[in-house]
Structure 1
Amino acid sequence: MNLPPLPDEAVVLGAHAADWRGAVREAGRALTRSGATRSDYADRMIAVIEEFGAYVVIAPGLALAHARPGRDVLHEGLAVVTLAEPVAFGHPHNDPVNVVLGLAVANAEEHVASVANLANVFNDAGAVGRLARARDAGEVRALLGIDGGAA
């Protein structure tokens, strides 16, 4: 499987977020720390959800925050944020969310490929729960099937 790298800086475990915007901001900060995006990418991810709704909540407990390729994307990147307390995004079936994936892509082809590869990981109904309970970045990478990735 071909997923973006997941350096330690892009993994945040047990984050506290007051609401879905805070959770998405955590993912945005992780993408920025990893060098994949500039800080304003988080604002674009939030704007996508405000415009199109909670479709980013792709499975029970799991949100895939992202935005279209843009100048604030330096290179393809992935972030994983687990939440100490789940937050509602407004999805009728998959709320509340306790795992937020942040995805940054530089072009449309990367977007399609990354989303398809992530979907394969989450075909396993227990994957979200295992991610939510992960204790370190290495365990997160193992659960996602990402080799290495440590910065």
Structure 2
Amino acid sequence: MVDFTGFLPDEAFALDVTAQNWQDAIRLAGQGLVDSGATKPGYTDEMIETVNKLGPYIVIAPGLALAHSRPSDSVMRSGLSWVRLAEPVEFGSKNNDPVSLVIGLAGRDENEHLEVMSAIASALVNPGKVKALADAQTPAEIRAILES
């Protein structure tokens, strides 16, 4: 089981914030990764460039984007960030827009990257957990839901 306290510290959260567009939303997720010590600022640009090159495939479910890029020198340790938007933004995903939750993901290597992605995915397939996550008021509440 993933220890979300280590991967998702308080500094990695931005709750009920505003983004003008999908790039701003990814920048907020990137800032959480930087603030928590998981990445250098360049990783944020890599996440945006990934969407520019490959399209909005990171919008993996209705209202949810998993912002990430390949492991790189900009990743100092594996980690997550959690951005809940006050107003959803469009990413260009025909099936899953608009997005109100952006999870930033940085993996040091492919194994850690996949382990963290798998843990997040397993939490987000449960509709009850998704609702609870949307209503949670603090980072501690969100971590507790993810770990339950």
TM-score in same-fold range (> 0.5): yes
* Greater share of helix: 2
The Cα of 1:8 is off from its aligned counterpart by 0.5
Distance 2:97 2:129 in 1: 16
The Cα of 1:116 is off from its aligned counterpart by 1.5
The Cα of 1:118 is off from its aligned counterpart by 1.3
Report percent identity of matched pairs: 46
Distance 2:28 2:128 in 1: 23
Q: 1:94 aligns with which of 93, 96, 104?
A: 96
The Cα of 1:119 is off from its aligned counterpart by 1.1
The aligned runs of 1:2-151 (5 Å cut-off) are 2=2, 5-145=7-147
The Cα of 1:130 is off from its aligned counterpart by 2.8
Distance 2:64 2:78 in 1: 20
My pick for the range that moved more, 77-86 or 114-123, is 114-123
Q: Deviations over 1:82-111 (max 9, x none)?
A: 000000111111111100000000001111
Please state whether the residue corresponding to 2:71 is helix, strand or coil: coil
The Cα of 1:133 is off from its aligned counterpart by 2.5
Where does structure 1 lack aligned partners over 5 or more consecutive residues? 147-151
The Cα of 1:22 is off from its aligned counterpart by 0.3
Where does structure 2 lack aligned partners over 5 or more consecutive residues? none
RMSD over aligned Cα atoms: 1.4
Runs of 4+ in 1 over 6 A off after TM superposition: none
Q: Deviations over 1:106-150 (max 9, x none)?
A: 00111122212211111112433432332111111112118xxxx
Q: Is the 8 A contact 1:83 1:132 kept in 2?
A: no
Distance 1:17 1:133 in 2: 19
Q: Deviations over 1:1-22 (max 9, x none)?
A: 2255211000110111000100
Distance 2:74 2:55 in 1: 22
Q: How many residues align?
A: 146
